Amino acid sequence: MRTFSDDNPGFVVVNDLSAGTSDAIDSEIKRLLQDSYERARVILKTNTKELKSLADALIKYETLDAEEVKEVLEGRLPERR
C-alpha cells in the first residue's frame, strides 16, 4: 500500500521536522491509507453484483459510455447501434 526509499524510512522528507513530528505525520498518513483501503474494500464487496455486471459488459463490448453503464447497472444489456 505504500513504498519507501532505502535512504528514508518515513513518508515525509523534510529535514526541519523532529523525529516525533515525522512519526506523527507518518502515523496519520498510514491511518488515512488504511481507512481509504477499507472503505474501497467495503464498496467493492457491497457492490459485487454491479461490479460483475460491468466487468461482463466490458468483456463483451470493450468500452461503455455513461448511458450504457447506467443500462448495465439497471440490469439491461446496452443496445449497440
CA atoms within 13 A on the CB side of 1: 11
56 alpha-carbon distance from chain centroid: 20
- The predicted model scores a pTM of 0.59
CA distance to 5, 32, 60, per residue, from 48 (Å): 36, 24, 18
Contact (Cβ atoms closer than 8 angstroms) between residue 24 and residue 32: no
Residue 21's pLDDT is what? Answer: 85
Residue range 35-75, pLDDT digits in tens: 999 999 999 999 999 999 999 999 999 999 999 999 999 99
Q: Which three cell numbers stand for residue 29?
A: 498518513
Contact (Cβ atoms closer than 8 angstroms) between residue 27 and residue 12: no
